[in-house]
């Protein structure tokens, strides 16, 4: 078993390998390094290993392993792990059991039914998709980590600031995620019956008073991505946009579909999702949409979903 210094070094290397930061992108090797540090009794490594197991990142998804590692980190005094465990145990509570045993996985993976909002484009809503406490947790995790939102420039083939999108966002990677976040993504997967590998990195969006997202489409018209496995143009299409409203204490700020004359504003925990392609899988021009300016502060979780396992990186 490695010494404490070796455990810290293993954890640091594992983090770099998991996201390709200063090292080759090798999630499996990164997960093995995290294992070494966790076996040495590092509470930080146990917490990260819990996230990896919950997310299926660098290893098969294993909820029992995730919850056991979360509890082990709590037993070692990790305050962040304890906060996650309290939150997860209280989301859909089964009384009379230890906190880890009170996490009701079946409830997480059984989201409420969808309702039809519009058929052209195909807009659907889900009421009460997330409890308010989970919404507040996500906002808290993103606060202080936001960057200016960008848009893809097809001429320069880069993400760049654009006057049509002046809000802030956080693109969540595996190092910024946690078990709570992994369960939210799993709940989205269950709601859509689309496997997690088809998910792009999740974004947390923040609009302040007067900030907007001008009318735009989410489908991919050009080869925006390259396949990080092959280096060839990525052939996938972004078929669904899934939005979770994380707060509602603001005025205005609706999501609008001008071609369908539809505006929507959810309560905290509600969902709006829509197809970016038609029933023949062609880009749907009716899906033009915009984020109107709020008075106050508006928070959303935004999940783009592809028609195949997503292996793309911005070209």
- Please give the pLDDT value at position 225: 79
For range 295-305, the mean pLDDT: 98
In a domain, 110, yes or no: no
Q: Phi and psi of 71, rounded to 5°?
A: -65, -40
Binning pLDDT at 50, 70 and 90, where does residue 150 land?
Answer: confident
Using DSSP's 3-state secondary structure scheme, residue 307 falls into coil
Q: Which pLDDT value is given to residue 2?
A: 46
Residues 92 and 11 in one domain: yes
182 part of a folded domain: yes
Do 9 and 71 lie in one domain? The reply is yes
Tell me: do 287 and 227 sit in the same domain.
Answer: yes
- Contacts of residue 300, Cβ cutoff 8 Å, sequence gap at least 6: 204, 205, 207, 243, 244, 245, 246
pLDDT band per the 50, 70, 90 thresholds, residue 182 = very high
On whether residue 294 sits in a domain, the answer given is: yes
Q: How far apart are CA 281 and CA 191, in angstroms?
A: 20
Over the stretch 60-99, which tens digit does the pLDDT of each residue have?
999 999 999 999 999 999 999 999 999 998 875 545 555 5
CB 46 within 8 A of CB 73: yes
Is 60 exceeded by the pLDDT of residue 293?
yes
Arithmetic mean of pLDDT, 182-206: 97
More confident residue, 108 or 91: 108
Contact 307, 281 (CB under 8 A): yes
SS3 284: coil
- The pTM for the full model equals 0.93
Q: Among residues 108, 64, 106, 72, which one has the least CA distance to residue 87?
A: 108
Question: Among 131-135, 149-153, 165-169, which stretch is predicted with the lowest mean pLDDT?
Answer: 149-153
Is residue 143 domain-shared with residue 181, that is, in the same domain?
yes
CA dihedral (169, 15, 201, 237) in degrees, to 10, reads 140
Of 52-66, 204-218, 222-236, the least confident? 222-236
Residue 76: CATH number of its domain: 1.25.40.10
Mark whether 153 and 237 lie in a shared domain: yes
Q: Which helix (H) or strand (E) holds 190?
A: helix 179-192
What is the predicted pLDDT for the residue at 231? 79
- Do 148 and 283 lie in a common domain? yes
15 is in which domain, residue-wise?
4-104
User: Is 195 found in the same domain as 99?
Assistant: no
Total domains in the fold of the chain? 2
Same domain, 82 and 133: no
Q: How many CB atoms lie within 10 A of CB 284?
A: 22
Do residues 73 and 146 share a domain? no
Is residue 154 located within the same domain as residue 188? yes
At 1 the pLDDT is: 43
When the pLDDT of each residue in the chain is averaged and rounded to a whole number, the result is 92
Alpha-carbon distance of 30 to 173, in angstroms, equals: 14
């Amino acid at each position: 078993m490695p010494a404490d210094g070796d455990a810290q070094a293993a954890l640091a290397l594992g983090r770099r390998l998991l996201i390709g930061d200063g090292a080759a992108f090798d999630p499996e090797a990164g997960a093995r390094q995290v294992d070494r540090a966790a076996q040495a009794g590092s509470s930080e490594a146990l917490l990260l290993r819990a996230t990896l197991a919950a997310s299926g990142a660098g290893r098969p998804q294993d909820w029992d392993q995730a919850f056991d590692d979360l509890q082990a980190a709590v037993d070692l005094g990790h305050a962040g792990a304890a906060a996650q465990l309290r939150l997860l145990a209280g989301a859909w509570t089964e009384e009379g059991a230890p906190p880890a045993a009170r996490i009701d996985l079946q409830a997480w993976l059984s989201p409420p039914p969808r309702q039809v909002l519009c058929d052209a484009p195909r807009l659907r809503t889900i009421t009460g998709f997330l409890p308010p406490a989970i919404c507040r947790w996500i906002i808290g995790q993103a606060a202080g980590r936001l960057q200016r939102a960008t848009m893809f420039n097809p001429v320069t083939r880069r993400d760049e600031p654009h006057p049509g999108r002046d809000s802030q966002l956080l693109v969540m990677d595996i190092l910024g995620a946690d078990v709570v976040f992994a369960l939210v993504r799993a709940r989205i997967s269950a709601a859509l019956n689309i496997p997690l590998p088809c998910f792009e990195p999740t974004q947390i969006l923040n609009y302040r008073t007067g900030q907007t997202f001008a009318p735009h489409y989410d489908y991919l018209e050009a080869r925006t991505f390259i396949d990080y496995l092959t280096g060839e143009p990525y052939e996938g299409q972004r078929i669904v946009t899934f939005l979770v409203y994380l707060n509602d204490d603001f005025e205005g700020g609706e999501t609008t579909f001008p071609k369908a004359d539809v505006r929507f504003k959810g309560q905290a925990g509600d969902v709006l999702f829509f197809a970016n392609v038609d029933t023949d899988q062609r880009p749907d021009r009716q899906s033009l949409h915009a984020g109107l300016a709020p008075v106050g502060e508006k928070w959303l979780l935004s999940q783009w979903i592809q028609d195949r396992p997503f292996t793309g990186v911005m070209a």
